[in-house]
Structure 1
């Protein structure tokens, strides 16, 4: 069985076990149904690793199954590259004997790459065919090395860091690490009002699109010696995400008579800012990440940074809904803000009885393949200021991207024992 056939067999097994149709899988892979059919029949091979990764996640593959699928793709891709690199042998023209009275010129060591003239046969000397064989062998060796590394490290490995990283420990959340970016595009100590959608159009890394003779128009200038590269990522942060789009609660020091009716989720940032309200008990943060360069960026992990812990204020709790529900519980990274050193732990979700796999690092993101991260933080004991550091790596280096609320820490406060109000639509007022 060839490498491509072995890869196709693994794809068919995962698809049959996952129970998803070709149409559903094709939409999740952002490809056509006919193309997916060809992948599963061994007639074609995905050109990018990201397609294989999305297929494994969509089918609910375990970590070991994902490694096997990635290994099979690497071997098949290396075989394909080796076959493409080998030129078709062509007969060499006879070389005329040199004139005995004329000196033989030395052969220049120049390799000319480019199309031949129309109708002109391309003649390659024997040394070119030998070089092609060496290139093919090198391709297979590189594929084997990648397989060995993948098998040893597994899908949850953490790549070594070459750029600066934020210091660990409580209190480090207020210090911006050297070489790190901010998802809001502003320093973490900035005094701007919180914004719902904050984008940090950090310039892309100059090397993220692969080797080139000149940088791409969107590429960032090379980092100075000793300075970490700019994050080749753009992040859009939503800090007012409600469960099922309707279920959430806020703390406010204002009395119920002076608090307006609850808004819809899209208007929550303005409503909360006007009421000087903070998230009560829990907070969901959604981060949409896009690559800004031509290549992929690897997301390696999330670190929680605690900036401050205070006694929860004795304010009123205002519930945005009297109860709602939905058939979808997204997979999230759960954070217990009351822990001495909070961690972002992956938690599986549920879609109408079907289990959604827990999110896991590493992840790959590019300009064409965004990634959405959801973080659900909860507290029962503190008024907490916190943020997230997203560790990333690219061909240009590595670093961290700060995820906060428009340059200020995210804030979530416990609400245990506080007065709880719900809005009575028939009466047009808040009531307990």
Structure 2
């Protein structure tokens, strides 16, 4: 039995014992029923550790059962990234802990980072992560070594925000030339030139840079940042895992593509969106959700002070077609997030409260405290109705080594979101096997 089949078997056993339907579980996981069904059949694998964790809790799994499920997912994910290569693993693997990785050249293999639940965590709620850290420590001191062995076997992924500080703000992860990449980043995307006419076709978020190249996964690790040279600003003591293809409720999103409906394949699941969008040379239509998981790399804590929005270029939206990934889906959760209006002269990251089944989720707020044991997730929802925008985020931080700015973008290239005014909108008709208006 393969690693993916073993993971799917454990999911089915937990689901059957809990007596929950696919629809009920999908709502609790904030994903679509078809996606969950594919997980349980072994046809797809969750791209995030957080999905596995939520599934185990929703099914009432014991601590030992949750560890078995987490271990099976880690093995299946490592096998997916490593292909047919053998992955040596000790007999017992506790819950993995994100650890710094050795510096290496970026590769094009997709990698999925083990992260906690994707919701922003202010200082007052840091106890949740401390409790999880205590469970991990109790599981055994070999977790870090096992996680490094598995990720090293799979290889690091490509693309990372560059560690270049902006003037007067210290070192961050930006697009400055001559700097090295920090530990984690999202996928790369070529930015179009700033002009007033329709833009040249550009690989979407998630592309590896050249047309037709294998697209990267939403989250990828890369080499650790280099030590600061004397007289230079300090290197950001943070790891940032960036996901730029996040769909509402795991199923609702739209892309712009210049291709006709007859040449566009069926919509993918969310985990496969970067590859699908890269192949169609598509860009985010109307809205884009970006999730950034951050944690410290040293012994001390890092304080996140503010999030600033940078719009590098505004162009006329391209006259392309809109392709809806799902025609009607949703869940009971609206995560708290930072909302960004890209059409504003000076866009701001505005905190917005969320909702979970009628219970209000507090709006995210700065300052936030993060460390190696206490990560935080920032969710940014950008929208535009009038421009084809290139944009990025600057996260200001203060730590034991000083202060600076961490650039959040597409591995050195800006994020790209375009309005789609009056454009043809297509949805996929499953019964007909084609795109239809």
Aligned to 2:230: 224
Instruction: Tell me, in whole angstroms, the C-alpha distance in 1 between the residues paired with 2:301 and 2:379.
Output: 21
Q: What is the CA deviation profile of residues 4-55 of structure 1, one whole-angstrom value per residue up to 9, with x for unaligned ones?
A: xxxxxxxxxxxxxxxxxxxxxxx9xxxxxxxxxxxxxxxxxxxxxx997217
Aligned to 1:53: 124
Q: Is the 8 A contact 2:174 2:412 kept in 1?
A: no
Going from structure 1 to structure 2, the CA distance change for 1:392 and 1:382 (only over 3 Å counts) comes to: same
Aligned to 1:414: 419
Q: Is the 8 A contact 2:311 2:392 kept in 1?
A: yes
Aligned pairs (5 A) from 1:133-212: 165=166, 176=176, 184=185, 192-193=208-209, 195=216, 196-199=218-221, 201-203=223-225
What secondary structure does 1:426 align onto? coil
Instruction: Tell me, in whole angstroms, the C-alpha distance in 1 between the residues paired with 2:299 and 2:186.
Output: 21
Going from structure 1 to structure 2, the CA distance change for 1:238 and 1:166 (only over 3 Å counts) comes to: farther
Aligned to 1:80: none
Going from structure 1 to structure 2, the CA distance change for 1:180 and 1:347 (only over 3 Å counts) comes to: farther
The number of equivalent residue pairs is 260
Q: Which has the larger radius of gyration?
A: 1
What secondary structure does 1:250 align onto? strand
Aligned pairs (5 A) from 1:341-420: 341-420=346-425
Q: Is the 8 A contact 1:283 1:376 kept in 2?
A: yes
Instruction: Tell me, in whole angstroms, the C-alpha distance in 2 between the residues paired with 1:247 and 1:308.
Output: 26
Instruction: Tell me, in whole angstroms, the C-alpha distance in 2 between the residues paired with 1:373 and 1:282.
Output: 17
Instruction: Tell me, in whole angstroms, the C-alpha distance in 2 between the residues paired with 1:397 and 1:267.
Output: 39
Going from structure 1 to structure 2, the CA distance change for 1:187 and 1:277 (only over 3 Å counts) comes to: closer
Aligned to 2:160: none
Q: What is the CA deviation profile of residues 278-305 of structure 1, one whole-angstrom value per residue up to 9, with x for unaligned ones?
A: 0000000001112111111111111111
Q: Is the 8 A contact 1:331 1:348 kept in 2?
A: yes
Using the size of structure 1 for normalisation, the TM-score is: 0.55
Instruction: Tell me, in whole angstroms, the C-alpha distance in 2 between the residues paired with 1:319 and 1:186.
Output: 22
Q: Is the 8 A contact 1:179 1:229 kept in 2?
A: no
Q: Is the 8 A contact 2:304 2:367 kept in 1?
A: yes
| Structure 2 gaps, min length 5 | 1-56, 58-120, 130-163, 192-206, 210-214
| Structure 1 gaps, min length 5 | 1-26, 28-49, 59-162, 204-219
Counterpart of 2:278 (choices 270, 273, 276) is: 273
Shift of 1:192: 4.5
Aligned pairs (5 A) from 1:291-370: 291-370=296-375
Instruction: Tell me, in whole angstroms, the C-alpha distance in 2 between the residues paired with 1:325 and 1:241.
Output: 14
Using the size of structure 2 for normalisation, the TM-score is: 0.54
What secondary structure does 2:185 align onto? coil
Going from structure 1 to structure 2, the CA distance change for 1:51 and 1:301 (only over 3 Å counts) comes to: closer
Q: What is the CA deviation profile of residues 116-142 of structure 1, one whole-angstrom value per residue up to 9, with x for unaligned ones?
A: xxxxxxxxxxxxxxxxxxxxxxxxxxx
Instruction: Tell me, in whole angstroms, the C-alpha distance in 2 between the residues paired with 1:166 and 1:198.
Output: 27
